[in-house]
Structure 1
Amino acid sequence: MKASFSRKKTCHFQWQTCVLYTFIFFVFLVVISNVMSYNILTNKARVFHDYLWYMTFRDSSYIVNKTTNSSKAFGWIKPAVISRQNTSGILNIASSTTPANQGINPTVGEPHTPTTQHSTKIEDFSKTHYMTVQGNGRLGNKMFQFAALLGVSALHKYTPFVAPNNKLMQVFDIAEARVVNMINYEGHGEERAGAFDRRIHNLSHARNWTLQGYYQSWKYFDHVANYVRNAFKFKSDIHLKALTRLNTINASVFVGVHVRRGDMNSERELSRGYNVADESYVIKAINYFRSKLKNPVFVMVGEDASWMRSKFNFNDVHILTSGSAGGDLALMAHCNHSVVTSGTYGWWGAYLAGGETVYFRDYPKPGSWLDKQYNRADYYPPHWVGMS
């Protein structure tokens, strides 16, 4: 009896081991197939490291068209293909009100009306050439991705679009949000998150494109700066709330101050190079504007209101944090000038405001892992003032 029980136990153990090895082998096959798919799509033989990196750029706002017969549709790492939900939802770009079909002057950076012949050529080209963007992150990251899309598509005279359920739509009315059935597509992955990728000038016009990554550089869209600022149109309720709050303050000049602390103060993020600006930097930046402007009022926003109240109890400082990402960003955008600390969110508050900006030049922390992802000259506009 004991021998029989032992044989049954051994047999059961061997069966479990066989199932485990089969499962591991199956996972291995899936990973290898998708690595190969990634390499085909991006023309980069960087195999596993880049495969895992670009896996993070899968965006749930895109509806994957699983009926695509393209040979490039194999695997789950692929450029976004927006499902044709209904024919009425697919906009005719020629009748769109966005500047994309008017042509963008990449030198001046302003929408312009070209000659009839030139306009017809651009319009015909844009009807068959589309570009979208895929990327990870929250509001500030999404704004960089969308701005880069506008800049790069203008450079190549493509029609830009994002999915109607893109996270940006929670804060902005995006005219480029539409449903497009994009075929003959390919993904373009960036080299580094915060460095301008000059390969963007050399995209083939024989296919449609999905930009994959973060694209955190003003150089992607500086040639259409006003177009980008106008594209970020706050929803009416967010816009009105920001104006109402600012109108309660008697001032002629507002300086928006964004203080980011909470999520960047963790041991893990600090070790990676996310650096938190301290009290001395903020006071130095405030004093800079006090010395340059007549009676400025500082509108301070951020997620740590109690810390701000304890550190900046000045008559000319108003802490107006709304608790809403869109609300705080709108407050900053409606100010005349800006002070920013760390991260892309404050960066965009300053960019939309369009005045003079003081930034925390120790972000990312020099020499850190995160610092190696950035080129400061590509990330910070040259006219911004850096302080520590």
Structure 2
Amino acid sequence: MKKIVIANITGGLGNQMFQYAAAKSLSLSLGFNLYICIDSYALKKQHNGYELNSVFDIETPALSRSDLAKYLGRICSTYVIRQSLARMKYCRYLNKSFINEHYLSRQKHLITSRRPYYYLHGYWQSDKYFQLHETEIKKIFSFEKAKKLCMEHAQQIEDTNSVSIHVRRGDYVTNQKANKLHGQCSLDYYKKAIEHMLQSHKNCTFFVFTDTPEWAREHIKANGAPMKFVHYTGKNAYVDMYLMSICRHNIIANSSFSWWAAKLNENIQKTVIAPYNWFNKKETPTDLLPKTWKLM
């Protein structure tokens, strides 16, 4: 049996990046090969589907159901069953190489253990899961394709003291489940964040990235500072993440999409403002937001 790490990949681009980063870091630490499992996308539409290969040229092989059964057993070869078992926290009883993120705080042996394989199931939304190999992860998440699609916007951002503002509404408004879990960042949050940027940095130009441009134009104000609204759509939506990542400073939403934009921002003097309440009626995990980011 090959020594491998298997990453279960699901959700939109930001979540895919978290899941891949955690599994890639583990595979590098163990010296194992990395494989992915993307069968969740065959069951339902999730944003633009699996995107890591098209956005970043990641060519990690995907396991078939029969191959997955060799490692996890026939009962866990189906995504719906794996998801149900993970929610009920039964996976560890069935298979000690099935690592659900809820158990990771108790998996201190994870990096040094030498099981023949690991299957990672969860969202893994913390840079602590890949901090041992952060440099390698950032190199993987480079935007060579995006750079060719937005040269004019990129030049505007580089020529100004640019501050990105991410306003995510979309499914956070229309999808009942997403709305219940995440809610939306309030206008008061954006107002305070913009005021802080204006007080902390001179000559700010705000670049607003949003899936609802008309709503944002009406409601997001910058006290007279220049504002530009940017929105790449469809399969090119990832360009927004690249452009946010090259802004000098970032005001993010409670979204893994703009979390990654801020994380990939290489400005060593950047100010990143994030919402204190990442979830609706649920405490924000301690390790979700880097300590250097300012919460409002």
TM-score interval, smaller chain: 0.7 to 0.9
- Asked if residue 346 in structure 1 is aligned to residue 258 in structure 2, the reply is yes
Residue 331 of structure 1, CA deviation: 1.0
Q: 2-side partners of 1:136 and 1:179: how far apart?
A: 13
Residue 274 of structure 2 corresponds to which residue in structure 1?
A: 359
Residue 358 of structure 1, CA deviation: 0.5
Residue 352 of structure 1, CA deviation: 1.2
Report if aligned partners of 1:336, 1:353 keep a CA contact under 8 Å in 2: yes
Residue 271 of structure 1, CA deviation: 6.5
Residue 285 of structure 1 corresponds to which residue in structure 2?
A: 193
- Asked if residue 320 in structure 1 is aligned to residue 230 in structure 2, the reply is yes
Residue 290 of structure 1, CA deviation: 1.6
Report if aligned partners of 2:101, 2:120 keep a CA contact under 8 Å in 1: no
Residue 129 of structure 1, CA deviation: 2.8
After superposition, give the CA deviation of every residue in 1:129-163 in whole Å (9 maximum; x if it has no partner). 32130132111110110111122223323233447
- Asked if residue 189 in structure 1 is aligned to residue 104 in structure 2, the reply is no
- Asked if residue 177 in structure 1 is aligned to residue 60 in structure 2, the reply is yes
Gaps of 5+ in 1: 1-69, 71-127
Q: 1-side partners of 2:247 and 2:36: how far apart?
A: 28
Gaps of 5+ in 2: 39-48, 73-96
**Residue from 214, 226, 248 that aligns with 1:306:** 214
Q: What SS class does the counterpart of residue 358 from structure 1 fall into?
A: strand
**Residue from 147, 150, 163 that aligns with 2:21:** 147
Q: 2-side partners of 1:150 and 1:271: how far apart?
A: 31
Residue 44 of structure 1 corresponds to which residue in structure 2?
A: none
After superposition, give the CA deviation of every residue in 1:220-246 in whole Å (9 maximum; x if it has no partner). 01222222111112242x222234312
Alignment CA distance shift 1:180-1:272 (3 Å): closer
Q: TM-score, normalised by structure 2?
A: 0.74
Q: 2-side partners of 1:327 and 1:270: how far apart?
A: 23
Letter in 2 for 1:358: I
- Asked if residue 275 in structure 1 is aligned to residue 183 in structure 2, the reply is yes
Residue 258 of structure 1, CA deviation: 0.9
Q: 1-side partners of 2:136 and 2:8: how far apart?
A: 21
**Residue from 194, 208, 218 that aligns with 2:127:** 218
Task: Decide which structure has the larger Cα Rg and report it.
Answer: 1
After superposition, give the CA deviation of every residue in 1:322-349 in whole Å (9 maximum; x if it has no partner). 2242111111122122111122111111
After superposition, give the CA deviation of every residue in 1:248-296 in whole Å (9 maximum; x if it has no partner). 4673322221111121124834763312112221121122122222212
Letter in 2 for 1:384: W
Fraction of identical pairs, as percent: 25
Q: 1-side partners of 2:50 and 2:215: how far apart?
A: 33
- Asked if residue 228 in structure 1 is aligned to residue 134 in structure 2, the reply is no
Residue 198 of structure 1, CA deviation: 4.4
Q: 2-side partners of 1:196 and 1:260: how far apart?
A: 30
Report if aligned partners of 1:251, 1:296 keep a CA contact under 8 Å in 2: no
Residue 189 of structure 1, CA deviation: 3.1
Q: 1-side partners of 2:120 and 2:170: how far apart?
A: 30
Residue 114 of structure 2 corresponds to which residue in structure 1?
A: 205
Report if aligned partners of 1:330, 1:349 keep a CA contact under 8 Å in 2: yes
Q: TM-score, normalised by structure 1?
A: 0.58
Report if aligned partners of 1:259, 1:302 keep a CA contact under 8 Å in 2: yes
Letter in 1 for 2:226: D
After superposition, give the CA deviation of every residue in 1:203-228 in whole Å (9 maximum; x if it has no partner). 64131222122111221012222221
Residue 364 of structure 1, CA deviation: 0.7
Report if aligned partners of 2:101, 2:121 keep a CA contact under 8 Å in 1: no
Q: What SS class does the counterpart of residue 98 from structure 2 fall into?
A: strand
Q: 2-side partners of 1:136 and 1:267: how far apart?
A: 17
